Amino acid sequence: MSHGSLYIVAGAALWGMIGVFFNSLSALGLMPMQIVALRVGSAALAFTLYLALSGRKDLLKIAPRDAIYFVGTGIFSLVFFNWCYFNTIELASLAVAAVLLYTSPVWIVLLAAVFFHERLTPQKILAVLLTLLGTALIVGIFSAGGDKLSPLAVLLGLGSGFGYALYSIFGKFALAKYAPETVSAYTFIFATLGAVPLAAAYGRNPAYLLPETWLYTLGIGVLCCLLPFVLYTRGLEQVEAGKAAVLATVEPAVAALFSVMLYHEPLSAAKIGGMALIFLAILLLNLKLPGKNPLKKTAESLPKS
């Protein structure tokens, strides 16, 4: 495996660890929105310092009128999908939440058809159908008894994928004017501006004062946000984007591994089969076929989680 591929896999694996730190913070008594605020806030601070200390402060300059792009990527997408993702972990499992998040490429295809009039090719339609069938298996539609997920868990899981897909829609406009690093930095900054007031609505939480809280916050914000972005971006310099997108599916695989090994969360044959179908849909969407995808640059340039 090339160095570029290793960077991609390492970055995706770190993204897959998000749920571990979420569970640790949740066990301390923090609510999902409070954890969202800690994650995006620490990521915003770390990313801004990273750009400043690496001599790329110019990347932090934007026109005030362009703030609307980052309201979209930061609040409508990042805050929303993180909140949905963390709630899905609580209601279902880390593995299920990670895979339902990865329905985002299919949401992107559907949103692109609506907003950018991109043609729905047979390849894309098949990927959508595979994703729907995979999701049905994961949520237990064809299962009897206690293997079914609650409707709320399903809705929030799919909501996390939809929220991440919005990242590419809003990001398409931002990337037309700014570098990926600028888009990411201001996405985290605006996400913080949106998440902190929502988290404050829950009142003071004594868990904020615990040393463990800030240790886990560094994990979820730096180890699972800043570092994987740097690794993934460096990998994209050496690996073609389609291959990178496929390699990034290591993320839900790692999440599933932690789900089983650390939390002993059961994975039935139906759930494993559903995950396989969603992975197959992602592979299908990244096959090189004739035609241009107006969202290709956007979806491949932005961090995955």
Distance CA 239, CA 6 (A): 10
Contacts with 160 (C-beta within 8 Å, 6 or more apart), sequence order: 81, 82, 84, 85, 88, 97, 100, 101
What share of the chain in percent tops pLDDT 70?
91
Q: What is the DSSP string of 181-229?
A: HHHHHHHHHHHHHHHHHHHHTT---GGGG-HHHHHHHHIIIIIIIIHHH
| Average pLDDT score over residue span 125-137 | 90
Inform me whether the pLDDT recorded for 300 exceeds 70: no
Q: Which two tokens stand for residue 221?
A: 């914000």
Distance CA 188, CA 46 (A): 10
| Average pLDDT score over residue span 200-209 | 95
Q: What is the DSSP letter of 140?
A: T
Q: Among 26-30, 141-145, 169-173, 290-294, which is the least confidently predicted range?
A: 290-294
Distance CA 201, CA 33 (A): 10
Distance CA 86, CA 18 (A): 9
Write out pLDDT tens, residues 246-298: 788 788 889 988 998 998 888 888 889 988 999 898 888 877 655 544 444 44
Q: How confident is the model at residue 243 (pLDDT cuts 50, 70, 90)?
A: confident
Write out pLDDT tens, residues 35-73: 999 999 999 999 999 899 989 999 999 999 999 999 999
Inform me whether the pLDDT recorded for 240 exceeds 60: yes
Cα distance between the two ends of the chain: 24
Q: What angle do CA 120, 126, 132 make, to 5 degrees?
A: 105
Inform me whether the pLDDT recorded for 194 exceeds 60: yes
Rg (CA), the chain: 18
Integer CA distances (angstroms), 96 to 78, 99, 302, in order: 19, 5, 23
Could you tell me the residue ranges of all domains in the chain? Answer: 3-301
Predicted pLDDT at 119: 86
Predicted pLDDT at 112: 83
